[in-house]
Chains A and B, each alone.
Chain A
């Protein structure tokens, strides 16, 4: 199992009360599996992504990434795990304004301890394979929304992560471009053998996913009605 969340509970202090964001949640995603987590706002989707991405430490349960239990790693170790084993595709992309498309990927290489100069050809090849060969030296403000999203995906994949965590990738795109991005994510997930978790509220973009996990009030359930036929 490439990503295994086991019996995760996450609570936040909320005034005099405690808010339970994740309530004994289990989630298993295999290598090459494209999993979607859907649910209304406040259902715990983002919290789930944050725990899987080692950004939040759960009160109980365990998080195993690529066979390594990361639950109790120190902050420094979790940072290294994020740099080397996890790729993030953020909502609204969140590219770095000062960097060209190529440098976005090379920054990720540098953070993982790699040498950007040695990986320049890999970055260009990856961007070109995603249809961005003519946009290599463009900065975020010179790219369209779909192009920015593809650069964000390429940035998340440049270090060959075990896990790809995708946060609302279609929220800033129209339906057609959103479909293209989800198709691209599905293709890359299967071709590269990465375990992908996509958090989305857009249930119209779930045709290409392998498994769907619906969240409600901090718990995960798998509704049969939403599971794509032939994939479960």
Chain B
């Protein structure tokens, strides 16, 4: 391709003050001899402009232009301000979605914690269930305690102990309190240090406060009387508070003589599946679904949260679809004036990012504050996992929706700017 580099003093390779119509002042140059390429960097009146000349050693045979542009949004920001009413409405809608996402995430985490926190905080790595053929279940599993020896001797297992779990009603004075009994052999790695073989039950302080119970008070479970020992923190299982007792006491009051619900193991990560016939072992964190209500409850909430994220993407996508259609003529004019498709896409995506970020901040902060207010009365967790992460996902999915909506910008023909009126 013939290339004319305009008026110049000297040749391209030995001149130092080349001038060109389009590039008034040469400020720097470098030569990449291996690629026969010379890079001339010139200043436009106010801007750096880069021109790469492909050279065959005697004459220029090709050239490329690059201009170095910042990421500043110019038209996009002014568009946003000009149509601030529309953008504010959109921001409000997405902020409400963000608020719902945060509230639902906090509630999902709160309910999940209310369901599984007692299991989650066991000092165990794995749980052994009876293999009933229907999958592991804390409600249905029954294991003979003397089988624990087989697990203790299994390679990779450092400690094993039986754990009894059952529902019960605890009577203290005139109060009947539904609880879940967790029973471990006193002195094992599972048992709270306050647990003894002298007819003691360990209850969380929140439960004790609610029913005016003090240390050494007496309470009744299944016609047996126990002394109260209080621990500052407590956990719950399937939305009921957990009360710890000695395994032998539990076997007596529940009639599970010589058996437990599951075995708790401390083992390396290699152990899984059915190493011993008639039982199945699972890593601790994989056993939440073995709590009866957990899969249905958690699945429903996660599905609603997923729908909310999709809705936010659809709302943003729909808005930017209409917005892009309305701007088609402006886009054509900008393209004719020299706007690259990348510039226009970045401008539109920048608008979407501003809307999404503002919405996420408004919805996130409001959701966090509401969560803090209600966390005492409803199971609600406000932390990074329930606020920042879901909102980041919402922003990412919203940007994806916007990207799909504005892709029609690539198809706008700058020719339509000619010959028409606005």
Instruction: Please report A residues at the B interface, Cβ cutoff 8 Å.
Output: 46, 49-50, 53, 55-56, 64, 66-69, 72, 76-77, 79-86, 88, 90-99, 103, 106-116, 118-119, 139, 155, 160, 162, 167-168, 171-172
State how many residues of chain B have any CB contact under 8 Å with chain A. 50
Q: Assess the A67–B6 pair: CB atoms within 8 A.
A: yes
Per-position 1/0 for B1-36, Cβ under 8 A of A: 111111000000000000011100000000000000
Q: Assess the A69–B65 pair: CB atoms within 8 A.
A: no
Instruction: Please report B residues at the A interface, Cβ cutoff 8 Å.
Output: 1-6, 20-22, 44-49, 63-70, 72, 74-75, 78-79, 81-83, 329-330, 333-340, 343, 414-415, 417-422
Chain A residues near B339 (CB, 8 Å)? 79, 83, 111
Number of interchain pairs (Cβ within 8 Å): 152
In-complex Cβ contact of B340 among A46, A79, A139 (8 A): A79
Q: Assess the B338–A112 pair: CB atoms within 8 A.
A: yes
CA distance A113 to B45 in the complex (A): 11
Q: Assess the B4–A68 pair: CB atoms within 8 A.
A: yes
Q: Assess the B336–A82 pair: CB atoms within 8 A.
A: yes
Q: Assess the A109–B46 pair: CB atoms within 8 A.
A: yes
Given A97-B330, A107-B75 in contact, is the A80-B338 Cβ separation under 8 Å? yes
**Top-10 shortest CB links A-B:** A83-B338, A92-B421, A113-B67, A98-B82, A82-B338, A110-B74, A66-B21, A114-B47, A67-B4, A67-B6
User: Which residue of chain B lies nearest to A155 when distances are taken between CB atoms in the complex?
Assistant: B337
Q: Assess the B22–A68 pair: CB atoms within 8 A.
A: yes
Q: Assess the A172–B421 pair: CB atoms within 8 A.
A: yes
Chain A residues near B47 (CB, 8 Å)? 112-115
Chain B residues near A72 (CB, 8 Å)? 1
Chain A residues near B417 (CB, 8 Å)? 88, 90, 94
In-complex Cβ contact of B46 among A66, A91, A114 (8 A): A114
Most chain B CB within 10 A, of A83, A107, A111, A116, is at: A111
CA distance A95 to B82 in the complex (A): 14
B414 to chain A, nearest CB (A): 5
Q: Assess the A88–B336 pair: CB atoms within 8 A.
A: yes
Q: Assess the B333–A46 pair: CB atoms within 8 A.
A: no
CA distance A110 to B2 in the complex (A): 30
CA distance A167 to B336 in the complex (A): 13
